[in-house]
Amino acid sequence: MSSNGQVVLLAGGVGGARLAHGLQAHLGPGLTVIVNTADDVERHGLLVSPDHDTVMYTLAGIDNREWGWGLAGETFAAADMLGRYGEETWFRLGDRDLATHIVRTARLRRGDRPTVIARDLQRSLGVAATILPMSDAPVRTEVRTDDGWLAFQDYFVRLHQEPTVHEVRFQGIEDASATPEVEAAIQAAEAIVIAPSNPFVSIRPILDVAGVAAAVQGARARRVPVVAVSGIIGGAALKGPADRMLVSLGHEASALGVARQYVGLIDLFVLDRIDAALEAPIQALGMRTLVTDTIMAGDPGRARLAGEILQPALDR
Ligand code: GDP
Ligand code: CA
């Protein structure tokens, strides 16, 4: 790997966290994750930032591997009590997790910047990498279903991603801009990686923040490689609605369908061996390809995929 190994990862929640964890194993503090905040939500008067917290807990090594979400050793006494008070509990917050949202919300009320709060939370948990909210301004994803526009977590958690998504929009995106921290990280990057996260609701909001896509293009102009990893394997998402969204938004549920979302933005596309037949049509989009095993099983699987991505990205 070349010089100081500064790498930026654009990430949503679970898929983002897995690759972030693998990259952190190689890069330590050289990794900066720019995380989606458009699926943030207010519950019980507290600001919850699901993608940031999934990445933070995973990088701190305190995520719940058995469930695939939340914190290890989590309990739900507070959620049960909220239920007794008649509060809606479809967005079930664990006891330990609640502490994160309490600190975040108290500090926001005191006027601290979301980026500064996030960094302090990460430091308290001993995270080696830096996780930056995509913007300090609030952005909220909404999806249009047969029943009209829904707030993202209504669709995702309350309705279990069952409604068909016809359109996606990001409320507040016009007033959101890249923070100095996000701009500096992209400026310093020797490689930029797009996680196998949902292209429409995890990656697109990050790229739509004013200044982010331009900074990535600026990096490309300096010959910094930009790499994306397919979250669609054999035509299906490992978790979540990305495959169904591809179809309902007018695309193909395949690694090729994902690659098309990043035309003109990336140099290298990483796809699974099972999709090797798509290599030629993906290359025809004007990008190089890396075919490998993209399922990140356990710590070794995460570090292996991260290493395979870093090699062509950084050894130019
Ligand atoms: P969310 O914000 O928690 O919904 O998660 P993301 O948007 O970050 O990631 C969801 C995507 O990650 C799904 O489309 C999954 O297919 C993908 N994903 C999860 N684990 C893996 C993995 O091990 N390998 C690959 N290639 N994709 C994965
Ligand atoms: Ca998410």
Pairing label, strands 41-43, 130-133 = unpaired
- Predicted pLDDT of residue 314: 77
- Tell me the CA distances in angstroms from 75 to 35, 52, 137, one per residue in order: 26, 20, 32
Q: List all residues whose CB is within 6 A of at least one atom of ligand 1.
A: 11-16, 18, 51, 54, 195-198, 202, 229-231, 233, 237-240, 242, 294-296
Helices 50-59, 14-27: crossing angle, 10 deg rounding: 40
7-39+132-314: CATH superfamily: CofD-like domains (3.40.50.10680)
Kindly give, in sequence order, each residue whose CB lies less than 8 Å from that of residue 262, ignoring residues fewer than 6 positions away: 194, 199, 228, 269, 287
Q: What is the pLDDT of residue 252?
A: 98
> Cα–Cα distance between 189 and 153 in angstroms, integer?
32
Overall average pLDDT of the 261-269 stretch = 97
Query: Which tens digit of pLDDT belongs to each residue from 228-245?
Result: 999 999 999 999 999 999
Place of tokens 């990656």: 203
Amino acid residing at 279: E
pLDDT tier at 51, thresholds 50, 70, 90? very high
Q: In sequence order, what are the beta bridge partners of 292?
A: 272
Work out the average pLDDT over 133-161.
Answer: 97
Residues 125 and 103: beta-carbon distance below 8 Å: no
Cα(88) to ligand 2 centroid in Å equals 21
Check residue 2 and give its pLDDT: 42
| Ligand 1 probe mutation, 18, 35, 143, 247, most atoms within 8 A of CB | 18
* Whole-number pLDDT of residue 313: 78
Question: Can you tell me the distance from the alpha carbon of 219 to that of 213, in angstroms, rounded to the nearest whole number?
Answer: 10
Q: What is the pLDDT of residues 184-231, one digit of tens each?
A: 999 999 999 999 999 999 999 999 999 999 999 999 999 999 999 999
Indicate whether 167 pLDDT > 50: yes
AA identity, residue 50? P
> What residues contact residue 172 under an 8 Å CB cut-off, 6+ apart?
137, 138, 139, 140
